[in-house]
Structure 1
Amino acid sequence: MRKRSIKNTRVNMEVQRELSNIIRGGIKDPRVAPWTSVVAAEVAPDLKTCKVYISVLGDEHAQSETVKGLKSAEGYIRRELAHNLNMRNTPELTFVLDQSIEYGVQMSKKIEEVTGNDSE
């Protein structure tokens, strides 16, 4: 399966949807912040590994604790993913903190500052 194939794109979407449902409703770890969202999931073409990009609303401490909590619950998440999705292989999950939303907000503020200074 190629990396940009339609099948791989559909698998990525399904894995992302199921992971967000599992994280939202199934994890009882207090380290995982309640405002954790799955931004993207990239499943390798051989379906063995998956990079899960997550976004956490909160400070850096909450973000690092959420990543630690998700890594410790990886076995449970994989088991639930295998139960909900009918795949030959359940991919190993790697959680990556996605800072793109924060970066976009910071850039928007900087653009507003610059345009505000120009209008004055």
Structure 2
Amino acid sequence: MRKNSIKNTRINSEVQHELSNIIRAGLKDPRVATMTSVVMAEVAPDLKTCKAYISVLGDEKAQQDTLKGLKSAEGYIRRELARTLNMRNTPEIRFVLDQSIEYGVNMSKKIADVTKDLKEEAE
């Protein structure tokens, strides 16, 4: 994997910030959950494509509905991104569901359960 340049890192953070603003304020799709956040955005060095990692607070159905809503609003989101950012190319956005936060919470619960059991055995 290639190390990101400073320019690419700045573009990634700016795209992430604008995507979260667009999703929070601009989308009126009822399928998109209100607790949707953009965890990370990876824009390719040629500025043609972008992977947006999305985290949704809710069950599996809410996550899938949010992904469907975002994919259907992809054109609107790209147009708004082009309007707010002054870039040579506006990247095509691909939304990816990010499970890392949910995975971390589950692992923390499992670790807490194991340590609780160990403390009970020690007493």
* Distance apart, 1:43 and its partner CA: 0.2
Structure 1: distance between partners of 2:59 and 2:77: 24
* Distance apart, 1:19 and its partner CA: 0.2
Cα distance 1:20–1:104, how it changes in 2: closer, same or farther (>3 A)?
A: same
Letter in 2 for 1:111: I
Structure 1: distance between partners of 2:94 and 2:76: 14
Q: Percent same amino acid among aligned pairs?
A: 79
Equivalent residue pairs, number: 119
Match of 2:91 in 1: 91
Equivalent position SS for 1:70: helix
> Segments of 4+ in structure 1 off by > 2 A?
none
Between 1:86-95 and 1:3-12, the stretch displaced more is: 3-12
Structure 1: distance between partners of 2:97 and 2:4: 23
Structure 2 gaps of 5+ residues are none
* Distance apart, 1:40 and its partner CA: 0.2
Q: Which has the larger radius of gyration?
A: 2
Deviations 1:42-96 (A, max 9, x none): 0001000000000000000000000000000000000000000000100000000
Structure 2: distance between partners of 1:87 and 1:39: 21
Structure 2: distance between partners of 1:103 and 1:34: 21
Structure 2: distance between partners of 1:4 and 1:55: 23
Structure 2: distance between partners of 1:43 and 1:54: 15
Structure 1: distance between partners of 2:87 and 2:14: 11
Match of 2:101 in 1: 101
Relative to the length of structure 1, the TM-score reads 0.98
* Distance apart, 1:3 and its partner CA: 4.9
Relative to the length of structure 2, the TM-score reads 0.95
Cα root mean square deviation, aligned = 0.8
* Distance apart, 1:9 and its partner CA: 0.2
1:28 equivalenced with 2:32 (yes/no): no
